[in-house]
Amino acid sequence: MAGHTGDVRAARTLLADADAGVRATALGALGRLGQAGAGDLLAALADPAPEVRARACQVGIGVAGVDLVPMLADADARVVEVAAWALGERAGAGGDAVARLSAVATGHEDALCREAAVAALGAIGDERGLPAILAGTHDRPAVRRRAVIALAPFSGPEVDAALAAALDDRDWQVRQAAEDLGAADEPAPGHPAPS
């Protein structure tokens, strides 16, 4: 309720509640109110409960001074998944984020984490992440679908080859994503291709 009624004091008090669900919800309320500061988030990122750490990654997207990259090494896959998503949503994520996301995309045991990392790499659009996205085109179906979509900001022969292979994928959703992406590159009927 505090997040909907503007009660910053109540939300901040509940950050110290004994129940992890209450702490996570209180952090979400502060985020909704635009009152979650770097100190709140740094404390929540170190919380023993994974649901609080995951919420901190989500809320921390737009908060300066909060490094979410280390959360990609969290022991809980739910936290890693949300951290990857959050890094993809952050403007200007690069450098270390791309390297760490690439490692998650190619080596994490949890498919949802690999999928979120591939999506984040596509959203970031940094060429250094392209090899990990291309590797994702050979993963499980959900990761392959996400990898095909993540190829959108990239070009080159290896991208063309991956899209061509995806058109023959055994999963119809992978094929559809490749068709949709290929159709976006083709001129509309009656319109010349851009030069």
Chain segment 14-25, per-residue pLDDT in tens? 898 899 999 999
pLDDT at 151 over 60: yes
pLDDT at 5 over 70: no
Q: What is the pLDDT of residues 57-95, one digit of tens each?
A: 999 998 878 899 999 999 999 999 999 999 999 866 667
pLDDT bin (cut points 50, 70, 90) of residue 1 is low
- Separation of first and last alpha carbons in the chain: 55
* CATH 1.25.10.10 boundaries in the chain: 67-186
For 2-16, 37-51, 56-70, 137-151, which range has the lowest pLDDT when averaged over its residues?
2-16
Question: What global pTM score does this model have?
Answer: 0.86
Burial of 9 (0-12, 13-18, 19+ CB in 10 A): exposed
pLDDT at 188 over 50: no
* Residue at 65: amino acid letter: G
pLDDT at 193 over 60: no
Q: What is the per-residue pLDDT for 190?
A: 44
Residue 4, H or E segment:
helix 2-5
- Residues of the chain with pLDDT > 70, as a percent, come to 88
How many CB atoms are located within 10 Å of the residue 170 CB?
Answer: 8
Q: Does domain 67-186 have CATH number 1.25.10.10?
A: yes
pLDDT at 144 over 80: yes
* C-alpha–C-alpha distance, residues 133 and 138, integer Å: 9
How many CB atoms are located within 10 Å of the residue 176 CB?
Answer: 15
Query: Are the beta carbons of 58 and 52 closer than 8 angstroms?
Result: no
Q: What is the per-residue pLDDT for 120?
A: 96
